[in-house]
Amino acid sequence: MAQRASWARSCQLVVKQTGADPELAKAALRQVTANQGIAGPAAVDAAVKILVDGPRDAYASVALNEPAAGDVVFQHPYVKSLLELARARIEQEFAKQSGPDADKYLICVRTYGRTGSSRESDVGRLIGATMPNWCRPKRSNLEDKLRKAGLDDLQKVSAALKKSELKDRLRACGETITQNLLEGLRVQAGKPLPEQRLKVAHRGVQDMTLAALSRAMGPKAHQQSLIFVSHEDKEFLEGRYTAALKNTCWADRVVHGIKGAHLQVRFIEEAAPLGTHIIILDDNIEDFVVEHCSKKLEKQLKEQGDSLFLRRKMLPGQWDGPLAGMNLVVTEESEARRFVRGAFPKLKAAELNGLTDALAKAKLEFLPHNLESMRKPSIENLNEALESIGLDKHGISTSRVLDSLRNFAVTKAKKMPNVAKFLQQACSSSMTCHLEPLRIALEREGITGVPELLEALKPQIAGERLLDILRGAGLPGQRKRQLEALRAQARNRLPTRQLLSRKQSQRQVSNTGSAASRSAMGGKGPELAEFIVMAGREMQIHDANIWGVSPTQNHFHLRGAGDSVRFNATKRGIFKNVNTSLGLVYGAFFGFRVRKHEGRYTRFGQVKDDVERSLRYWHHDRIILRFQRYAVSKAHKPGKFMAKKGGISAASSAEAHAAEGTQALQRILEAFGAPYARLAKPGELSSTGIIWQRVAEENLEKHLKRQEQTRKRAAKQMEEEGGGGGFGAEDDKPATEDEVKQCEQML
């Protein structure tokens, strides 16, 4: 009890001396007591020092665009204290969610300097609607008078108007109001407030991303969302976020984060439980959009004057998928079909379906517990061994030898110590000179002991039936090779499942409740929520750890992606709503599975952090998921510096922004990204500054080896010509333009 009382007094002292949040004060005290071993009054002083000096000292020793910045910042006790609070909050949010763990997710909005401080209050909007010809200063003057009378929000003003008290309250504080204006306010107070139209520079996160989330997910959007604000953000310290979110459902969703958009993502991942699904959103998103193929909706949007008529906003209610109205049924690929596709990857869909159906009719299902039998020695191995020693040339029947071996296996095989003795006892005297070559041939076929020989002599019904099925399927090629391909696939993992589409018969009723069917045909719940859950499941299916949407909101580009999905569904019978090749995971809206892996954290600044993140995940996983039918509409042009934009443009300049981006790309490629991308040349179209290089997996190792050899040759040549220390030497001089061109040619 005494220890608890002492702890409580210490916390109160820290709060009193710093004015910090009580929970943050406790976290700072835990840092000094548990991690630094300090106790008593010294612990209070140390905790106060962390809270007072920490916001400045955490970033003092390293620039945020340096590779070691994240490691240094996250070692600071102040950041550790913030991380402790964020970890508790995120765990609390996941604990509130119901349903399977795999379908749970948390949306994290990262914001900086975007409160929309110049937005007009509800009272100001009431005055503006009453007197539309008044200028902004004149409206503000009346608002100040009302505030002086204690009428500082719309509810109080409406109540005073309803009770006819407003004029008296103004007179009591020495202010006046005309009767016409009073009557106008009374009439307008009974009507809905007009929609607030703000300039982009005056809009805050509550006007953009938070409003877009509410439109797409409905009134409960805040329940699965948090807002991460940098602890040193000037607008946060001045209380502008608190004022902007006051009396909204988002008021208690703010979490103290850290400085830097790239470090904020790492902060969120460090705070989240391992394996959870996290979604990151920028703070200037206007709408979540998706392409559509509805002629009726296209006509309607054109009539409304919408120039982006090939896309629509994601809806909180019923929505249509990319295959809606096409009379198609979407089902998940069976395990048997995946097995056959893995064995014969070049088969056409009709041949693949035919062979799969034949296997199903024969009741040969390739489940894991049945695959083991295909890995064991079989009668085919014995046939290969007998044929290889040429018994037919000596007038000895292969089938008679097999019969002799089988008969002996039934009676006396268990007493045989080895294969040689088994063959000697089982075979006739005419086989004596062929026994040793037969034993060697059996070893080549993997039959080295008596148990393997007995397994091969067992009736191989599955193998024989498989050969019959392969013959009946009429596949091109040799049957033995086809059987070997099936056996080889039995040793490998099944390929990733596909979603299959086919025409729906009149009597057939599609399963609209399945996840596969909803993603293709549509559903009833909030579309954005369904999409996020679907993206999480696709990550699990493809063994991926990150997903993103289209980096462009151009409706022609989105429609092209949708048309590709529909073409594959109708012509190839495959519903593929996701791209798994290398490309940009757009930083404005993406999700990832929490791995807390150092190699996946971005390290070269915030300007090109989405490019770096895409390459890092590809480098480690060889797969990223991109849903190219979906996009976000942003208030500002992505990737461009704007002085009044806020976000990563805050406290920067056009020159510094461009220089940091160029330096980041060069560092990324030098560190690990060269096999997957290169810098865009002058005149090449690139929104990111790089050109993606999709090197096939089988060629990647050769590519890396060849690249290393080229670097060594270039280094050696530079040493011979200039006598320098080569690449990586501490006293290296910057390469000349001619040397750079020479190295590029060699590469």
Check: CB of residue 575 under 8 Å from CB of residue 520: yes
Residue with tokens 């004149």: 138
Lowest pLDDT segment from 97-101, 343-347, 424-428, 740-744: 740-744
Q: How far apart are CA 26 and CA 8, in angstroms?
A: 9
Rounded CA separation 222/210 (Å): 8
Average pLDDT score over the chain: 82
Model confidence band, residue 478 (pLDDT cutoffs 50, 70, 90): low
Half-sphere exposure of 330 toward its Cβ, with a 13 Å CA cutoff? Answer: 29
Instruction: Answer yes or no: are the C-beta atoms of 353 and 344 closer than 8 Å.
Output: no
Rounded to whole angstroms, the Cα distance separating 454 from 447 reads: 9
Q: Which residue has better confidence, 180 or 416?
A: 180
Q: Which residues lie below 8 Å from residue 478, measured CB to CB, with a gap of 6+?
A: none
Pairing of strands 677-679, 319-320: unpaired
In this predicted structure, what is the pLDDT of residue 581?
93
Contact call for residues 161 and 189 (beta carbons, < 8 A)? yes
Collapsing DSSP to helix, strand or coil, 44 comes out as: helix
pLDDT recorded at residue 431? 75
d(CA 518, CA 321): 7
Alpha-carbon 556 to chain mean position: 24
Q: How far apart are CA 56 and CA 76, in angstroms?
A: 11
Q: pLDDT value at position 686?
A: 87
Phi, psi of 630 (to 5 degrees): -105, 150
Q: In 391-523, where does DSSP find H-type helix?
A: 398-411, 419-426, 435-444, 450-457, 461-473, 479-490, 515-521
Tokens read off for 469: 């099925």
**What is the spatial distance between Cα 528 and Cα 312, in angstroms, rounded to a whole number?**
12
Mean pLDDT of 425-445: 77
3-state secondary structure of 580: coil
Going by C-beta distance under 8 Å and a sequence separation of 6 or more, which residues neighbour residue 578? Answer: 538, 542, 547, 625, 626, 627
Please, what's the largest Cα pairwise distance for the chain?
129
State how far the Cα of 473 lies from the Cα of 489, in Å rounded to an integer.
19
Q: Is 662 helix (H, G, I), strand (E, B) or coil?
A: helix
Query: In the 8-state DSSP scheme, what is residue 202?
Result: G
Distance in angstroms (rounded) separating the CA atoms of residues 267 and 257? 7
Residue 29, pLDDT above cutoff 70: yes
The first and second tokens of residue 400, run together, are 């008679």
| Residue 300 scores a pLDDT above 70 | yes
User: How far is residue 467's CA from residue 460's CA, in Å, rounded to a whole number?
Assistant: 11
pLDDT band at 456 (very low <50, low <70, confident <90, very high): low
Rg, the chain, Cα only: 35
Burial class (CB in 10 A: 0-12, 13-18, 19+), 698: exposed
The lowest-confidence range among 145-159, 513-527, 629-643 is 629-643
Question: What is the rounded distance in angstroms from the CA atom of residue 223 to the CA atom of residue 171?
Answer: 45
User: Hey, is 212 helix, strand or coil?
Assistant: helix
- CA-nearest of 519, 560, 565, 570 to 541 is 519
Q: Is the pTM above the cut of 0.85?
A: no
Give per-residue pLDDT as tens, 110-141.
999 888 765 677 888 888 888 888 877 788 88
Instruction: State the DSSP H helix or E strand holding residue 243, giving kind and residue range, or none if neither.
Output: helix 240-245
Q: How confident is the model at residue 228 (pLDDT cuts 50, 70, 90)?
A: very high
Q: How far apart are CA 672 and CA 508, in angstroms?
A: 52
**Phi, then psi, of 18 in degrees rounded to 5:** -115, -25
**Digit-coded pLDDT (tens) for 346-389:** 888 888 888 888 777 766 655 444 444 544 555 556 666 667 76
CB contact at 8 A, 229 and 254: yes
Helix axes 379-388, 435-444, angle to 10 degrees: 130
The one-letter amino acid code at 152 reads: D
Question: Looking at residues 602-614, what average pLDDT do you find?
Answer: 93
The answer to whether 58 touches 76, Cβ cutoff 8 Å, is yes
C-alpha 380/C-alpha 382 separation (Å) is 5
User: For position 230, what pLDDT does the model report?
Assistant: 94
Which helix (H) or strand (E) segment holds residue 328: the answer is strand 328-332
- Measure the CA–CA gap between 424 and 169, rounded to whole angstroms: 118
* Residue 619: other Cβ atoms inside 10 A: 15
Q: Would you give the DSSP letter of residue 196?
A: P
- 33-59: average pLDDT: 85
Q: Is the pLDDT of residue 231 over 50?
A: yes
The mean pLDDT of 293-315, rounded to a whole number, is: 92
Q: Are residues 627 and 547 in contact, defined by beta-carbon separation less than 8 angstroms?
A: yes
What band does 192 get if pLDDT is binned at 50, 70 and 90? confident
Of residues 541 and 441, more confidence is placed in 541
Which span out of 192-201, 483-492, 525-534, 635-644 was modeled with the highest average pLDDT? 525-534
Cα(first)–Cα(last) distance of the chain, in Å?
Answer: 71
Q: Residue 661: which pLDDT band, with cuts at 50, 70 and 90?
A: confident
Least confident of 387-396, 407-416, 454-463: 454-463
Instruction: Considering only residues 278 and 493, tell me which one the structure prediction assigns the higher pLDDT.
Output: 278
pLDDT of residue 473: 67
Nearest to 497 by CA among 557, 449, 538: 538
Strands, E assignment, 474-550: 499-503, 522-523, 546-549
Predicted local confidence at residue 723, as pLDDT: 47
Give the pLDDT confidence of 622-641 residue by residue, as tens digits.
Answer: 999 999 999 999 986 765 54
Q: How are strands ordered across the β-sheet holding 311-313?
A: 311-313, 285-291, 630-634
**Residues 279-288: pLDDT tens digits?**
999 999 999 9
Task: Give the Å distances, CA to CA, from 227 to 209, 245, 251, 512, 585.
Answer: 10, 11, 10, 35, 21
Gap between the Cα atoms of 696 and 688, Å rounded? 22
Percent of the chain with pLDDT over 90: 36
Q: Is 182 helix (H, G, I), strand (E, B) or coil?
A: helix
Beta strands 589-593 and 677-679 are unpaired
Between the ranges 76-80, 339-343, 416-420, where is the mean pLDDT highest?
76-80
- Other CB atoms within a 10 A radius of the CB of residue 297 amount to 15
Q: Which tens digits make up the pLDDT trace of 717-747?
A: 766 665 443 333 333 444 444 544 444 444 3
Who wins on pLDDT, 642 or 530?
Answer: 530
